[in-house]
Structure 1
Amino acid sequence: MKALFAIACAALLAGCASQHARRTDVLFWNQPQREANFRAMETQYASNVVKHGVAHPLPSGRPIAPVLDDGTTLDAYMTAHHVAGVMVVQDGKVRLERYGLGSDAHTRWTSFSVAKSFTSTLVGAALRDGSIQSLDDKVVRYIPELAVGAYRDVTVRQLLTMTSGVRWNEDYSDPHSDVAQMYEGRRVPGEPLLVTYMAPLPREFAPGERWVYKTGETDLIGILVNRATHKTLAAYLSEKIWKPYGMANDALWLKDDMDGTEAGGSGVSATLGDYARLGQFLLDGGRAGGHAVLADGWLADATKKHADIGIAGRGYGYQWWTWDNGAFAGIGIFGQLLHVDPARHLVIVQLAAWPVATDDAQAMARSDFVRAVTRAVDADR
């Protein structure tokens, strides 16, 4: 009886913690907290469930053993960079699957900004449905509360490409930056807190003039999809992709515990295999259950360069990072990656708990890992 009482108390305390935890505290967790919580975000924050379907098979293919540019082995790379899992799928077959940090095939791991690419893909579905009329619609058509400030002249396309021109600070190490403060402040009844925060932000550039990375804008895209479809992001993702394509496990999408708004710019937790299945869904042309899910031409448009990010050979599409060779990727802080290379029919997934949110040395090592995989795949062909 005492044991049952202790379990009940622990569950109650965990629930209370999740109701009061600041959603941006995640940026300042220590390493043990990251490694414990990235696999169990639902214990820290409110969330919606993304229901799965009958599993799309990922059969085994011929194994590869990538070696990084400096000779580092995969095991050494994973240990050095706190990697929880890597998977390589080529031609629909798993060529590499490895786990770390106590994870396994059933572990759900948070995505951070890889979720931006999920949200973008739902825009493609909403366009096909007719829920969103056009990417050239003004954002205020769907979120009229934004008409009070600089967003009144911004289009859906400019949100997708992060070229709104609205001023923003995405410094993950600064507790006073916009990305750290966007879920704080006064609540207005009936209005998402994120909208309340972003509506009065000032203009810095003309809409469409310059690219500036803004997680808050992807959260706005998520709210836009929710308003347009009258469905939660979790329910819409389940309906359009997670069930019909055949993800093997339920996913989670974090939400505000008071207004229920899901974080379009982050907050999806899924298994390593289901992240890979999403990449394969895209390689399969965005079709699920024998039907086209996305608007005609959406994939080619979303995954090409629309904005210059100041790096040769790279760009930004509709919430996808792009390469001039046709590859594209969803990239999240603390080491998350969903890399899709259509020319090689290749998907590369990494889940991790880097010691810092973003860092040039860590990012270079991740890029080296991707190069090592592509070398191994090319050599085998």
Structure 2
Amino acid sequence: MRALILAAALAASALPALAADKPPPAASVLFWSQAQKEAGFPKMEAHFPVSTAARGERVHALLPGAPLSVNAVGGQPFDLAAYMTSEKTAGILVLQDGKVRLERYGLGYGPNGRWTSFSVAKSVTSTLVGAAVKDGYIKSLDDKVTRYIPGLRGSAYDQVSVRQLLTMTSGVKWNEDYTDPNSDVALLFSTPADPGLDSTVSYMRKLPREAAPGAKWVYKTGETNLIGVLVTSATGKSLSAYLSEKIWKPYGMEQDALWMIDERSQEAGGCCLSMTLRDYGRVGEFLRTGGAGAAGPVLPAGWIADATREHAATGDRFGYGYQWWTEPVGVFNGLGIFGQRLHVDPARKLVVVVSSAWPEATNSDRSARQDALIAAIAAQLDAEAKP
């Protein structure tokens, strides 16, 4: 996703001045004004081409639970409405044991609207890898990536496994410097594709190796997009169609999801899956409760535990699993720029969703405040559970 938005930004200086309340169709969301973010994040389909992951006839009910009030965070008095205003929060949803304990909206967002995921989509894409393993489309995570993406043969990906792609430990050299117009993340979508090849595959197959496969973790947007290509290639289905078949219909999502696509109609595996706040919560519940739909398990036995444990150290507060950011004791997160978060805490039967339009793509202070809010929610649930 980061590659998509940055590549679009390269041409931003040539765009005419635009109205503050109408995001430009071709410009990077990294450079949208605050008003453009708040107008555009719930309406990405108005500015970018998308495909649809259709819902089914049945809706998985989220029943009301006992109302949850968060009155203190970090030992200090806390006002949720003030927090949402200062943090540009569009939605907060807290589910415990599948019941709605707290649900709040801001920025003109509401229960029937959608909000973009940014990189939370990475975690959904990796879950579709699990579905493809169960369905037999992907034989093993230890298979070489080139088995499913022949266009990578003869490249630095020759000895890279599907598992190493999922954990971003391929050892292939990558520069994700957003300030450098010659970085890989900047060039990925601005470099013409070789004839007959997917644009991501065309670019990624030319990269050199810098470490042995499995030896080094580096965040690579291009590799998440490769995962999307791999699922499409292995299943013969678009990501949106496969998402509808394996999760959206069988689990009972309440609205269709919309997924940003490129000029060849390939979904961006790492970004921009738009859904309702409650459907984000249902994604969390799907994973928290074992990854089963109405007809039974969608994922292989043990998949969720393996996908959401630390496979690689990142040097940050989180470890990295299969496109999930991991915490101790089985807690895991899908994270996206501008403050998007899907937090799953199986031991507490807790799912927290936060949709935001932060002024900055990343901000350590805002991340810390979001962490503190989630910690306060967990502490309150723990207090409730005491005899």
Work out whether the TM-score is over 0.5.
yes
Query: 2: CA distance between counterparts of 1:18 and 1:48?
Result: 20
Q: In the alignment, what sits opposite 2:376? A: 372
Alignment of 1:1-381 (within 5 A): 21=26, 25-53=28-56, 54-66=58-70, 67-69=72-74, 70-172=76-178, 174-256=180-262, 258-311=263-316, 314-381=318-385
Query: 2: CA distance between counterparts of 1:325 and 1:170?
Result: 30
Deviation readout 1:124-166 (Å, 9 max, x if unpaired): 0000000001101111111111124211221100000010111
| Shift of residue 49, structure 1, vs aligned partner | 0.5
Query: 1: CA distance between counterparts of 2:181 and 2:255?
Result: 35
| Shift of residue 174, structure 1, vs aligned partner | 4.9
Deviating 4+ runs (over 4 angstroms): 17-20, 172-176
- Write the letter of the residue equivalent to 1:242: W
Query: 2: CA distance between counterparts of 1:103 and 1:19?
Result: 20
Q: Is the 8 A contact 1:170 1:177 kept in 2?
A: yes
What are the ranges of 5 or more consecutive residues in structure 2 without an aligned counterpart?
A: 1-21
- Write the letter of the residue equivalent to 2:364: D
- Write the letter of the residue equivalent to 1:218: T
| Shift of residue 65, structure 1, vs aligned partner | 1.4
Query: 2: CA distance between counterparts of 1:311 and 1:137?
Result: 29
Deviation readout 1:75-104 (Å, 9 max, x if unpaired): 111111111000000011000000010000
- Write the letter of the residue equivalent to 2:331: A
CA gap of 1:337–1:149, structure 2 versus 1, over 3 A, is: same
Structure 1-normalised TM-score?
Answer: 0.91
CA gap of 1:365–1:126, structure 2 versus 1, over 3 A, is: same
Query: 1: CA distance between counterparts of 2:40 and 2:112?
Result: 15
Query: 2: CA distance between counterparts of 1:168 and 1:186?
Result: 18
Q: Is the 8 A contact 1:18 1:43 kept in 2?
A: no
| Shift of residue 20, structure 1, vs aligned partner | 7.0
CA gap of 1:172–1:74, structure 2 versus 1, over 3 A, is: farther
- Write the letter of the residue equivalent to 2:244: S
Q: Is the 8 A contact 2:92 2:354 kept in 1?
A: yes
Partner secondary structure for residue 354 of structure 2: strand
- Write the letter of the residue equivalent to 2:217: W
Partner secondary structure for residue 361 of structure 1: helix
| Aligned positions, number | 361
| Shift of residue 311, structure 1, vs aligned partner | 3.8
Partner secondary structure for residue 84 of structure 1: strand
Partner secondary structure for residue 136 of structure 1: coil
What are the ranges of 5 or more consecutive residues in structure 1 without an aligned counterpart?
A: 1-16
Query: 2: CA distance between counterparts of 1:112 and 1:177?
Result: 20
Deviation readout 1:112-134 (Å, 9 max, x if unpaired): 11000100100000000000011
Larger deviation, residues 156-165 vs 72-81: 72-81
- Write the letter of the residue equivalent to 2:55: H
Q: Is the 8 A contact 2:292 2:298 kept in 1?
A: yes
- Write the letter of the residue equivalent to 2:271: S
- Write the letter of the residue equivalent to 1:339: H
Structure 2-normalised TM-score?
Answer: 0.90
